[in-house]
Amino acid sequence: MTKQGFRVELNPTPEQREAMGRHAGLSRFVENFALDKIRAAFAQRAAEESYGVPAGQLTKAPWTAIDLERLWRAEHPQVAPWFAGFGLSSRIPKEACRLRAAGLKNWWESKTGKRKGRRVGFPKLRKRKHGSRFRYDADRAKPAGADAVVLPGVPGRVAVREDMSWLVDRLADGRARIIGSTVREKAGRWWVTFQLDVDRSDVNARRAVDPNAPTCGIDVGLKTFATIVDDTGMVEEIQAPRALKAAQRRLRRANKALHRKQPGSANRAKAREAVAAIHLKVAHRRGDFLHKLTTRLARSKRAIAVESLNVAGMVRNRRLARAISDAGFGEFLRQLTYKADWYGSKLWAAERWYPSSKTCSACGAINSALTLSDRTWACACGAEHDRDHNAARNLLAAMHAVS
C-alpha cells in the first residue's frame, strides 16, 4: 500500500456551500479555542513557577488531542451554544483538536532539537483570511458513486466536477482505503482531498520506466528552469512558465482595486475574490507544468541526478526570492522523488556543496573564481563550457561514479 492524495473539485449547491462554510468556521473556532486553553495553561504554569510551586504540582497543560477534545466537550454548551443548533458534524471539532495537538508537538520537538528541518514556531490563532478548510477522520467523507461525495453535516450528495471512477473502483475491491479527508475553499471554489492507503501496483507496472532508458543529470536555475543532459549526449533545456511574473500586471491592478474598496463592503469582498482567483490561476499553471515535467522524467529516465537545494536559504536573497518561489524548485524535487519511486526510476541527489557549475566536466579542475553572472567560461585545459550544461554533465558523472 502507498499513501497518496486524491483531490477533486466540488460543485456544491448554494445550501451545501453555506453548510461547508459553517463547518470551516467551526473548525477555525475550535482550533482557536484549543489554542486559548493551551496559552492559559502555560501562563498559569509560569505564574505557579514564580511562586515556587513544585514541578509535580504545576497545572497540567492540555498537550494531546484527547485533552483538548475533552475540554471542548465540557465547555462547548457555554462557549458555543450554536454548535448543536446548526446540525454541524461532531467530527470537525475532533480533527481541529488533532491539528492543534500536532502543531504543538511539532513546535516542542523543533524547540528541543528532536525535529529536523526548518524551525517550527508556536501555533498561532487561525483567522478567516487564512483560508477556509476542515477535516474529517477515517472514511467519514467518501465518494457516493463516481460523480458525487457524501460529507457529514452537509445536506445531500455533493456533486463533483471530475470523474472519480479510478478511486471508486479501488475502494469497491479493497485496493484503496480512505484514512482521512480535507475540504478546502480557494477563491470561492471548493475541493475535497482524500488521503488514501492505495495499491498502485497495476498503474506503476503499466507506466514503469524502460530498463534500457537513458540516465540524466538535471541542473535547475532561474534563467533556464531545467537543463537536462543524458548519457547519450542529448541536451534539453526546459523553460518554466513563470506564472507569477506573467500575472504581475493583473495582480497589481487587482490589488489596487481591492484597496480602493471600503473595508467590510460587498465590493471589497468581490475584489478580494478577484485577487484570490489570480493567485489560484498562478498556482494551477505552475502545478500543471511541474506535474507534467516530473511525470515525463520519471517515466523516461531510469536514473536521474539532481542537486540538493537549500530553497529556504535561497529565498532569503530578497532580489531573487520572488523568482525562486515562482519557479517552484522545492516542489519539483518533491514530486520527482515520489514519482521516481512509483515508476521504478532511481533518483540521486548530490551533496549540497558539490561544485557542479565550477568543475570542468573535461578535466575536473575547479574554477573557484566563477560567479553567478558568468554564463559561460573557459577552462585552462581548453574546454569551453555553458554553465548549466556543464553542471548537468557533472551531476550525471558524479551519479555514475558512485553507482
On whether both 138 and 231 belong to a single domain, the answer is no
Q: Write the single-letter amino acid at 30.
A: V
Which of the listed residues 134, 165, 199 is the one where a domain comes to its end? 199
CB-CB contact of 211 with 302 (8 Å): yes
Contact of 277 with 321, CB cutoff 8 Å: no
Task: Give me the pLDDT at residue 289, please.
Answer: 97
Q: What is the pLDDT of residue 365?
A: 83
Residues in the chain: 403
* Whole-number pLDDT of residue 82: 92
Rounded to an integer, the average pLDDT of 29-35 is: 95
**Mean pLDDT calculated for residue range 358-377:** 83
**The pLDDT of residue 45:** 85
Q: Are 227 and 389 spatial neighbours (Cβ–Cβ below 8 Å)?
A: yes
Segment 304-327 shows an average pLDDT of: 88
- Give the phi and the psi of residue 8 in degrees, each rounded to 5: -140, 140
Report how far Cα 117 is from the mean position of its chain's Cα atoms: 15
Same domain, 189 and 119: yes
Domain co-membership, 250 together with 327: yes
148 band by pLDDT with thresholds 50, 70 and 90? very high
Q: 380 or 356: whose pLDDT is higher?
A: 356
Question: 181: domain range?
Answer: 2-199
Secondary element (H or E) of residue 8: strand 2-9
Domains of the chain: total: 2
- DSSP calls for 83-149: TTTTT--THHHHHHHHHHHHHHHHHHHHHTT-S-SSPPPPP----GGG-EEEEEETTSSEESSSSEE
Q: Are residues 182 and 298 in the same domain?
A: no
Tell me: do 120 and 263 sit in the same domain. no
Q: Write down which residue in 183, 199, 215 finishes a domain.
A: 199
At which of 169, 199, 229 does a domain end?
A: 199
146, 212: one domain: no
- The confidence score (pLDDT) of residue 379 equals 85
DSSP, collapsed to helix, strand or coil, labels residue 368 as coil
Q: Could you tell me if 170 and 225 lie in one domain?
A: no
Between 11-15, 66-70, 140-144, 307-311, the lowest mean confidence (pLDDT) is in: 307-311
pLDDT at 87: 85
Residue 232 and residue 103 in one domain: no
Report, as an integer, the average pLDDT of 18-26: 95
Question: Which residue's entry shows cell 465540557?
Answer: 74
Copy the grid coordinates of residue 74: 465540557
What does the pLDDT read at residue 233?
85
pLDDT one-digit tens code per residue, 100-123? 999 999 999 999 888 887 888 999
Phi and psi for 181 in degrees, rounded to 5?
-155, 150
As a whole number, the mean pLDDT across the chain is 92
Q: Mind listing the pLDDT tens digit for each residue in 165-201?
A: 999 999 999 999 999 999 999 999 999 999 999 999 9
What CATH number corresponds to the domain at position 245? 3.30.420
pLDDT above 70 covers a percentage of the chain that reads 100
28 and 177 together in one domain:
yes
Using pLDDT thresholds of 50, 70 and 90, give the confidence band for residue 216. very high
Is-contact 86 40, C-beta < 8 A?
no
pLDDT value at residue 334: 94
Which residues fall within 8 angstroms of residue 206, CB to CB, at 6 or more apart? none
What is the helix, strand, coil percentage profile of the chain, to 5?
A: 45, 20, 35
Residues 192, 267, single domain; the answer is: no
pLDDT, tens digit (0-9, with 9 covering 90-100), for 266-290: 999 999 999 999 999 999 999 999 9
Does 214 lie in the same domain as 98? no
Give the burial class of 234: count Cβ atoms within 10 A of its Cβ; 0-12 exposed, 13-18 middle, 19 or more buried: exposed
Residues 53-82 have pLDDT tens digits of: 887 777 888 889 999 999 999 999 999 999
Residues 64, 14, single domain; the answer is yes
